[in-house]
Amino acid sequence: MGIVLGILIPVILFGILFAVLAILVHARPEMLVNNPTLYKTIVPKLILISMIPSLLILRHYLLKLKYDKTGRGIIISTFVLGLVFVIVQFAL
C-alpha cells in the first residue's frame, strides 16, 4: 500500500501541475518563443514539487498511525522518484 501511495500521489500531482503549465503555455504561446527550453527547465522542478505530498503522507503514516511497513513503501517510492528526478535533470 505504501508503494502505491508513494507513487500515485506524486504522479497525480505532477499531471495536474503539468496540465496547468500546458494550459498557460497554450494561453500565452509567446512564453515558448521567449524561452524555447521552458519545458526542459520546468519539468525537473515539477517532479520535486510533486514529491512534497508523499513526504507529508510519510510523516502521517509513521508518526500518527504507526504503520511502519506502509511508511517503508512510501520511502522506497520517494527514493525511486528522486532517482527519476536525477535522471531527468541530467538527461535534459
Cβ 10 vs Cβ 84: under 8 Å: no
Q: Which residue has the higher pLDDT, 24 or 12?
A: 12
Instruction: With a cut of 80, say whether residue 21 has pLDDT above it.
Output: yes
> What average pLDDT does this structure show over 18-39?
83
pLDDT score of 92: 65
- pLDDT tens per residue across span 32-86: 777 778 778 888 899 999 999 998 999 999 999 999 999 999 999 999 999 999 9
- For the entire predicted model, the pTM comes to 0.85
Nearest to 5 by CA among 42, 55, 44: 55
Quote the cell numbers at residue 50: 510533486
Q: For residue 80, what are the CA distances in angstroms to 72, 74, 85?
A: 12, 10, 9
